[in-house]
Homo-oligomer: A and B are copies of this chain.
Amino acid sequence: MDPENLIEQCFIFHGLPARVLNDIVAIGSVKKFNAKQTIFMEGDRATGFHIVITGRIKIFKLSTEGREQTLHVFGPGEPFGEAAVFAGTRFPANAMAVKKTETFYIPREAFVLLLKKDPSIAMNLLSILSRRLMSFAVMIGDLSLKEVPGRLATYLIILMKQQGKSDSVTLDMPKSQLASLLGTIPETLSRIFAKMQRQGIIAVQGPHIKILDLEALEELSGTEFRD
């Protein structure tokens, strides 16, 4: 799998002319990370950003006591660290591979020059950053205004849509990781799962969740799901 094919398939560079793609491939390089290896840390100067080629990474913040809040989990084709690069600041969070991962690394200086030469590169970036900004807005609202059952319900419904199922979902990460994404801890999440099961809303078998009462789930979620 050579970088060029992968790069042009990523949404971030989709639709760009071959000339520009070549420039991008020319300034970047492939980096490899083992599971649990740190890619960058909060406070590091953002000297470049990555695009996941294979594997999976998470972006997270740590409290002083060591609790973890996951902001994002990214897979193939998704860029991360770009915001800090464009803003020219330090990374506001940590990045770690959750499994063996390859990334395409693009250094800041060269990329900023490319951007100036070819501002059309910015268009897809605008769209990506906008989407992430909005998903963060939702996350802030959920963290602040919903309780854990509501957040879990919302997550399950979104996952259902993603997986195109109407009565079951399969969690795409360990429950402990999900807890961190939902802004809680494994113990609490486990209790909520048990409670929702007791209430007959879902049935849990490991990572497989049967949705028994979608109505109740939507009620718990409190979110309107319009296109």
Contacts and interface: CB of A to CB of B under 8 A. Distances in A.
Nearest to A132: B133
B130 A84 contact: yes
A136 interface: yes
Interface stretch (A23-31, A57-65, A206-214): A57-65
Contact of A133 (B63, B69, B129): B129
B224 A127 contact: no
B126 A86 contact: yes
B87 A145 contact: no
Interface of A, helix, strand, loop or mixed by DSSP? helix
Interface in A136-158: 136-141, 143-146
Given A86-B130, A123-B122, A127-B86, A71 B222 contact: no
Interface stretch (A89-97, A166-174, A190-198): A89-97
Nearest to A221: B64
Given A69-B144, A126-B126, A134 B84 contact: yes
A125 interface: yes
Contacts of A139: 136, 140
A131 interface: yes
A120 interface: yes
A82 interface: yes
Interface of A: 43, 59, 61-64, 67, 69, 71, 82-87, 89-90, 92-93, 115-116, 119-120, 122-123, 125-127, 129-134, 136-141, 143-146, 183, 222, 224, 226
